[in-house]
Amino acid sequence: MIPEFGHFALILALAVALLQASLPLIGWRRRDARLLGFATSAAHGQFVCVAVAYGCLTYAFVTKDFSVAYVAQNDHSLLPLIYRISAVWGAHEGSLLLWVTILAGWTLAVSIFNRRLPADMSALVLSALGAVSVGFYLFILLTSNPFTRLVPVPEEGRDLNPILQDPGLAIHPPMLYMGYVGFSVAFAFAIAALITGRLDAAWARWTRPWTTTAWMFLTMGITLGSWWAYKELGWGGWWFWDPVENASFMPWLAGTALIHSLAVTEKRGLLKGWTVLLAILAFSLSLLGTFLVRSGVLVSVHAFATDPSRGEFILGFMAVVVGGALGLYAWRAPRLATSAELKLFSREGLLLFNNVFLLAAAGGVLLGTLYPLVLDALGLGKLSVGPPYFNAVFLPLIVPLLLLVGLAAVVPWKRGEAAPAWRRLRIPAAAAVVAAVLLPLATYGRLPAFAVAGSLLAAWTVFAAVQDVWKRVRSKPSLAAGIAGVPRAVWGMTLAHVGLGVWALGVSYVVSFGAEKDVRLAPNAGADLGGYTFTFRDEKETQGPNYLAQRGTVTVERGGSLVTTLYPEKRQFPSQGTVMTQSSIDAGLMRDLYVSLGEGYEDGSWSLRVYVKPMVRLIWGGGVLMFLGGGLAASDRRYRLARAAERSAAQASEAALA
Amino acid sequence: MSRPGLTKRQKRMVAVAALVTGVSLAAALGVTAFRKNMMYFYTPSDLLSGTLPAGAALQLGGLVERGSLKHGEGLKIEFVMSDCKNAVPVRYDGVLPDLFREGQGVVATGHMEAGQVFVASTILAKHDENYMPPNVAKAVGNVDGKHSCAPFKSVTAPS
């Protein structure tokens, strides 16, 4: 009964979303305040419906209702409860349900926090969000219904894919989706601005916190995914330039460009058309990511759908959304032209450069990701583009970006002068040069060019960001007053930029000083790597909740004294007949020691992968700092203060409409 | 950009020229990197029929022939990769992925050595025992989702 109830709730949600998409639009044409106001009620109703549907599916998973086909495929009676809950989004159908649930959640949030918006703008934003929802409801109901029953009912479920049974992966998809779907809000705002032709500083101020929030979740989602891949796949890498990773990275690059161009639009009223285009682009790339990952075009852990009709549906949906939005843009964007002049050597000019580099990077990644697919689809041959391509494109673009971060902090809006900028940057620049030499020398006693360059850029980014805050603090009479006087948005920006520097330092250290080795070791034999001795002690069988594991014991010594003991495992999941490598890591700020098991040989020896990864934690630490920075920036007082003023304006415009 | 003596128009020209230079530089970089790092996908038959410069990086996909896997000293292994029509010996030195098994599809990245041996630098097998690289599936030929290729385990039928 419960699954049918969920199915019904989902159909109801579709009906409500249809009304939410269409009625406010009619209301806007007819200047009918009641129809406009309906958007808010519809947003609430839609959320309730889809939340009920989602709850029903979760209930089916928790109660192991194998009569539901999707549950039977992804659940198992021995699966721990936490993974039974996360298994809801462990495969295609449920992950789409999660997608629309999150979309409905964002819509609900917009309807609650947008009371301060002019009624027509708010209604049009909700209408655009409703239209996106309609597409996804249709997709689920027509091609991927998670509530379909299975006859006959199997005795036992087929279990969740073992590599998804990990806490990192349990929260990775919701975070990533929060980001992907969150860009739909910026997209909806862009559509509303195009329809009404009103795009001013207030519009940018409404859009900014939403975009920053979406961006911060996407950042966290990508960071979690990278961390998971590192520890779970057993290859010790943190980024593989896999098409699926690229699918999430492209919207991130476009979204990062968007939050910067929104700053220009808010402060200076410039780049309006560009900002709208970026908002469309960021969401289009999110949809493209969904298409790539969910259509079965790509072969990977993430690609569930093998049914070609699903791929066609998403492709068609994408064509409608992107084509429609770009068509609207072509028709209405000329209205958004600005007369003010943009000087290249100014804050906004440098931010424009930031946008150019970010989009060039996104374009490079897009080319490398899509070209093989397009070539294959046209029957022109099969090829792959490996990580060297992406590195060759990405590195030359990230270097100027890091340099710009420091420079833009000291160049004022409107018009910058070289001399004062240099005066403020002298000390950070000198300190960065010193740090670039001292840091690698102090930690590893060597100066590889890549580590020096990485340390230089990292230190430059961090010092320049900190000096900006320092200058603000120093201008106040006391330290406490100074710290309190710095707005949260500035703290957020500083933290995110420091995060970027920390990330760069981590990357350059892993690349320069990381060591890895594949070895075959007999019991009690050792291998030397990066100053550590890894000794394989023995291997035993152990029993997990739903798997059988061969567990190796590896001791790691340095200079004769024991550093740590690692227990890498090879797990066999009888429910799916799969084998999985569980690496064992001794994590630290300065270095990770990492061992994963290969295979056992008849003579009792095992093949092992051993890694020493210096400062690899900084890569994800940087991501976490960006996440926190985004959170601070999105919760700035300015956005809340502006509310009171805008509410009265909104009431005035409502009165005018009525 | 704010040098005195330049008119507004001239400044704009400089800005446009800088932008064009930057974009074309980026494009040139991208295309060069792209050309250098494209790796074509081959099956053993493609490999043996074509004229390929020795040492060029490429991907080779096929099935691991049953009974062909030999362990050497340390982590060295040798096996034969086949697409049912032709076969190529492959050498590899390293830890194999979890699902590397005889009779299953794998994709190896590496290059041909003069003695017609493929030297692999990485070997991929997916986290799914039913997995077969789509390129391989197409090359081998599927009949109702089952391999038409007798000596190999069918990947879809329950074994």
CATH code: domain of residue B127: 2.40.50.140
B122 and B140 share one domain: yes
Chain A residues in contact with B131 by the CB 8 A cut-off are: 299
In this prediction, residues A451-463 reach a mean pLDDT of: 95
pLDDT at position A282 over 90: yes
Chain A residues in contact with B71 by the CB 8 A cut-off are: 601
pTM: 0.90
Residue B138: which pLDDT band, with cuts at 50, 70 and 90?
A: low
Residue A584: which pLDDT band, with cuts at 50, 70 and 90?
A: very high
What distance in Å separates residue A150's CA from the closest CA in chain B?
Answer: 20
DSSP A153: P
Q: What is the pLDDT of residue B92?
A: 93
Q: What is the pLDDT of residue A644?
A: 56
Q: What is the pLDDT of residue A646?
A: 58
B22 and B93 share one domain: no
* Tally of domains in chain B: 2
| Contact of B34 with A385, CB cutoff 8 Å | yes
- Using CB atoms, pick whichever of A234, A367, A520 lies closest to residue B74: A520
Asked if A345 and B75 come within 8 Å (Cβ–Cβ), the reply is no
| Most A CBs within 10 Å, among B75, B106, B155, to test the A interface | B75
Q: Kindly state whether B59 is in contact with chain A, defined as any CB-CB distance less than 8 angstroms.
A: yes
Name which of A243, A301, A297, A238 is nearest A95 in CA terms.
A301
Q: Does A648 map to a domain?
A: no
Residues 576-605 of chain A whose Cβ lies under 8 A from any Cβ of chain B: 576-581, 596, 598-599, 601
Which has the higher per-residue pLDDT, A276 or B44? A276
**Contact pairs from chain A to chain B, CB under 8 Å:** 103
Q: What is the pLDDT of residue A642?
A: 58
Q: Does A506 map to a domain?
A: no
B54 and B117 share one domain: yes
In this prediction, residues A126-145 reach a mean pLDDT of: 94
Q: Kindly state whether B111 is in contact with chain A, defined as any CB-CB distance less than 8 angstroms.
A: no
What distance in Å separates residue B91's CA from the closest CA in chain A?
Answer: 15
Q: How far is CA A150 from CA A63, A65, A147, A328, B111, in A?
A: 16, 10, 9, 44, 48
| Contact of A440 with A448, CB cutoff 8 Å | yes
Q: Kindly state whether B109 is in contact with chain A, defined as any CB-CB distance less than 8 angstroms.
A: yes
Asked if A161 and B127 come within 8 Å (Cβ–Cβ), the reply is yes
B84 and B19 share one domain: no
Can you give the residue range of the structural domain that contains B53?
41-147
Q: Does B156 map to a domain?
A: no
Chain B residues in contact with A301 by the CB 8 A cut-off are: 126-127
A263 and A397 share one domain: yes
- Using CB atoms, pick whichever of A161, A382, A397 lies closest to residue B135: A382
Q: Kindly state whether A161 is in contact with chain B, defined as any CB-CB distance less than 8 angstroms.
A: yes
Question: In chain A, pLDDT over 70 holds for what percent of residues?
Answer: 95
Question: Of the candidates A165, A184, A216, which is a domain's last residue?
Answer: A165
* Tally of domains in chain A: 3
B29 and B80 share one domain: no
Q: Does B158 map to a domain?
A: no
Question: Of the candidates A600, A617, A634, which is a domain's last residue?
Answer: A617
B46 and B31 share one domain: no
Contacts 24+ apart (CB under 8 A), B43-52: B43/B83, B43/B86, B43/B135, B43/B136, B43/B139, B44/B81, B44/B82, B44/B83, B44/B85, B44/B86, B44/B87, B44/B88, B45/B83, B45/B85, B45/B86, B45/B139, B47/B86, B47/B88, B47/B112, B47/B118, B48/B86, B48/B88, B52/B112
Give the per-residue SS3 of chain B: CCCCCCCHHHHHHHHHHHHHHHHHHHHHHHHHHHHHHEEEEECHHHHHHCCCCCCCCEEEEEEECCCCCEECCCCEEEEEEECCCCEEEEEEECCCCCCCCCCCEEEEEEEEECCCEEEEEEEECCCCCCCCCHHHHHHHCEECCEECCCCCCCCCCCC
B93 and B119 share one domain: yes
| Contact of A168 with A226, CB cutoff 8 Å | no
Nearest residue of A to residue B33, measured between CA atoms: A389
Question: Of the candidates A369, A385, A413, which is a domain's last residue?
Answer: A413
Residues A43-67 have pLDDT tens digits of 999 999 999 999 999 999 999 999 9
Tokens read off for A218:
């996407």
In this prediction, residues A276-283 reach a mean pLDDT of: 95
Asked if A609 and B135 come within 8 Å (Cβ–Cβ), the reply is no
Chain B residues in contact with A360 by the CB 8 A cut-off are: 23, 26
Can you give the residue range of the structural domain that contains A599?
515-617
One-character DSSP codes across A571-617: EEETTTTEEEEE-EEE--SSEEEEEEEEEE-TTS-EEEEEEEEETTH
Bond before A420 cis per omega within 30 degrees: no
CATH at A151: 1.20.120
Name which of B123, B99, B100, B97 is nearest B110 in CA terms.
B123
